[in-house]
């Protein structure tokens, strides 16, 4: 096959991915990693995402020859530790990042950039993009520990090389969507922590969503276990013959289907 034919096949494959979310592979459709998002949607990420990221960082994607985007969004994959900038839904650039440690995981879901600042504070590098996570202060920022990039190292924020966050900063407006994917349970070690009153995190949010679908929880699904979640947990445990306790433990996880 000549160079023209190869280029045609490549761009046809990329077009199929962008339009339909699938990439042909040996006559079959590749499976995608599934993840829950804020609006109860399922986001799918292709197995070839890293390859697309390399394309997105190539010379054809430089800031000089890309037209202005009407919509800029960010996709962060906590499993692969990558941040991908999307222009009008298409991958533009991809960067390596550090995400939260197992005991302080990065929040998962769909959020928005609500503030931007330069030289925001010690340890946050040269740029800060704050997110509207309901249960804490989290953001995308630079770092004075560049060796941590590519690992699970932060208190939940997304760390970038300063040169990368400085390139990202002018591209992303306040209000831009930031989707963070991963598994809220197997992300950490051990995978399932016992959840109780005043706990917060992506795992609490998934429990709230499940209790809401079961008609047991009427409160705000925001990832924070407040007083209004107590009775829902008591009722759920009683329904499944579990001891009366305000805890989501291993038996409760099993009953929830997690």
**Distance, CA of 104 to CA of 5 (rounded, Å):** 48
Apex CA 36: angle with CA 114 and CA 185, to 5°? 100
**Distance, CA of 22 to CA of 16 (rounded, Å):** 6
Cis status of the peptide bond prior to 213, with omega within 30 of 0: no
Q: Which residues contact 215 (CB under 8 A, 6 or more apart)?
A: none
Q: Measuring CA to CA, how many Å separate 59 from each of 15, 66, 82, 167?
A: 19, 10, 19, 15
DSSP-assigned states of every residue in 114-125: EEEEES-STTST
**Distance, CA of 142 to CA of 158 (rounded, Å):** 8
**Active-site residue, from 35, 36, 157, 200:** 157
- Cα-to-chain-centroid distance, residue 167: 20
Residue 9, SS3 per DSSP: helix
Whole-number pLDDT of residue 187:
64
- Active site includes 155? no
107 and 223 Cβ atoms separated by less than 8 Å:
yes
Other Cβ atoms within 10 Å of 251 Cβ, number: 15
Residue 175, SS3 per DSSP: coil
Whole-number pLDDT of residue 106:
93
- Active site includes 141? yes
Determine whether 108 is exposed, middle or buried from the number of CB atoms within 10 Å of its CB (0-12, 13-18, 19+): buried
Whole-number pLDDT of residue 104:
85
Which segments of the chain have a pLDDT < 50?
Answer: 1-65
Whole-number pLDDT of residue 117:
93
Burial string for 164-201 (b: 16+ CB within 10 Å, else e) reads bbebbbebbeeebbbbbbbbbeebbeeebbebeeebbb
Whole-number pLDDT of residue 150:
92
Residue 73, SS3 per DSSP: strand
Q: What is the CA radius of gyration of the chain?
A: 20
Whole-number pLDDT of residue 70:
82
Whole-number pLDDT of residue 68:
64
**Active-site residue, from 36, 141, 161, 200:** 141
Other Cβ atoms within 10 Å of 146 Cβ, number: 14
**Distance, CA of 14 to CA of 11 (rounded, Å):** 5
Q: Quick one: tokens of 33?
A: 């990693």
Whole-number pLDDT of residue 189:
55
Strand 152-154 versus strand 33-36 pairing type: unpaired
Q: Quick one: tokens of 186?
A: 């197997």
């Amino acid at each position: 096959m000549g160079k023209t034919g190869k280029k045609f096949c490549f761009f046809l494959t990329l077009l199929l991915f962008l339009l339909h979310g699938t990439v042909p592979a040996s006559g079959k459709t590749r499976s995608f990693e599934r993840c829950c998002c804020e609006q109860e949607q399922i986001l799918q990420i292709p197995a070839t995402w890293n390859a697309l990221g390399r394309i997105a960082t190539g010379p054809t994607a430089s800031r000089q020859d890309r037209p202005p985007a009407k919509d800029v969004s960010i996709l962060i994959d906590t499993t692969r530790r990558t941040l991908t900038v999307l222009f009008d839904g298409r991958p533009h650039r991809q960067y390596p990042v550090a995400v939260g440690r197992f005991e302080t995981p990065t929040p998962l879901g769909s959020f928005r950039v609500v503030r931007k600042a330069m030289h925001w504070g010690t340890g946050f590098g040269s740029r800060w993009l704050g997110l509207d996570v309901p249960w804490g202060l989290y953001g995308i920022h630079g770092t004075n520990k560049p060796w941590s990039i590519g690992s699970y190292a932060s208190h939940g924020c997304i760390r970038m090389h300063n040169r990368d966050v400085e390139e990202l900063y002018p591209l992303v407006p306040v209000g831009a969507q930031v989707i963070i994917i991963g598994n809220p349970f197997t992300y950490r070690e051990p995978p399932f922590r016992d959840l109780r009153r005043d706990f917060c995190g992506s795992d609490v949010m998934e429990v709230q969503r499940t209790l809401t679908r079961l008609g047991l929880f009427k409160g705000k699904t925001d990832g924070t276990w407040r007083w209004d979640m107590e009775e829902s947990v008591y009722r759920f445990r009683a329904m499944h013959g579990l001891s009366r306790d305000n805890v989501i433990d291993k038996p409760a996880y099993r009953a929830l289907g997690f």
